[in-house]
Amino acid sequence: MSAPLCEIPDLACQLHKLLGQVPAGRVTTYGALAEALGNRIAARWVGHFVLHHEHGPGCPCHRVVRADGRLGQYIDGGEKAKAQRLADEAVEVRQGAVDLDRYEYRHFISEKPLEKLRKVQEALASKVSLRPRRRVPKLVGGVDVSYPGPDEGVAAYALVETAGGRLVWSTTVRRRVMFPYISTYLSFRELPILLDLLGEVRAAGRLSRVLLVDGSGILHQRHAGIATHLGVAASLPTIGVTKKLLCGRVDLEDMQPEQSRPVVYEDRLTGVALRSTAGSRRPIFISPGHLLDVGYAERLVRRLLVGRRLPEPLYWADRLSRARGRI
């Protein structure tokens, strides 16, 4: 098994350092902090972190406000307490808001870790090989990760028979998860635990020839979703299956049961939407991860559908990871 292709940064530590740069008498915004981390898409996580982090007497988190200058929530006493702390630092608060033109601080010194991770994804995309395959394996594995706590993950592997979908073997691992959930960066949250899981599966001699992953393959803003990242890192043929469309264009109007439609992103066929059952009007989205193509990905997923919305390897992996998380 090859390396994860990068060292995953401690994003919480990086954010703490940025918060420490905001001087008394100034404020910053969730979006500005996310930009200093390397991508504004992280603003939602920044807001969640500021509201739920380990808070102490000297913490400067009261200096973070919303993009329009409104104060927003505060971990230590609500908006009123936040306004008082800012007033104590000579920041004028009028009608629950701060004048950003006057008080905003943006001169951050940062390593921009998310920008570095984006470059890792772009480099990874160049390593992907999409090739046609013919043989359908008798057994197919699927992996999924659930989260019983904010910093803990349970990864499950389920091996099923292609004909009929019978579960024949499974295993799970439970690990601490260091990287937060940030849209388009899921790989860096789940890759370490999934590589640990596949290490145990290999040792048991149960690794399938093709692996289904709960997550995107090349149907991703940088053509490098978790199914692609895992496939390249582990040198495995992988298929990504998601319940939500991360990017791309597809016509979902009046889809019939078992019908599929192409998903195009950046003028390239990157996957298909498939309405897998009559009981669900919401399609699943299938894309190749590595070492196979769109046509094969769809064909194999269809073979693994037995009346449920998800193909059997992912149905069982999801169920097993959640069950282990409740223990």
Number of H helices, E strands in the chain: 10, 12
Q: 160, 312 in Cβ contact below 8 A?
A: yes
Q: Is the dihedral of CA 240, 241, 247, 250 positive or negative?
A: positive
Kindly state the tokens that stand for 124: 């990874």
Length of the chain: 327
Active site residue 13: no
Kindly state the tokens that stand for 261: 């439609």
Ranges of beta strands (E only) in 104-210 are: 139-149, 152-161, 167-176
35 sits in which H/E element: helix 30-37
Kindly state the tokens that stand for 243: 């319940």
Count of beta carbons in the 10 Å neighbourhood of residue 194: 28
Distance CA 17, CA 12 (A): 9
Kindly state the tokens that stand for 40: 């504004």
18 sits in which H/E element: helix 11-19
Distance CA 214, CA 320 (A): 13
Distance CA 191, CA 233 (A): 9
Catalytic residue chosen out of the listed positions 6, 13, 59, 61: 61
The residues, any chain, with a CB within 8 Å of residue 266's CB and separated by 6 or more, are none
User: Quick one: angle between helices 43-52 and 11-19, nearest 10?
Assistant: 80
Distance CA 306, CA 271 (A): 21
Q: Which residues are catalytic?
A: 61
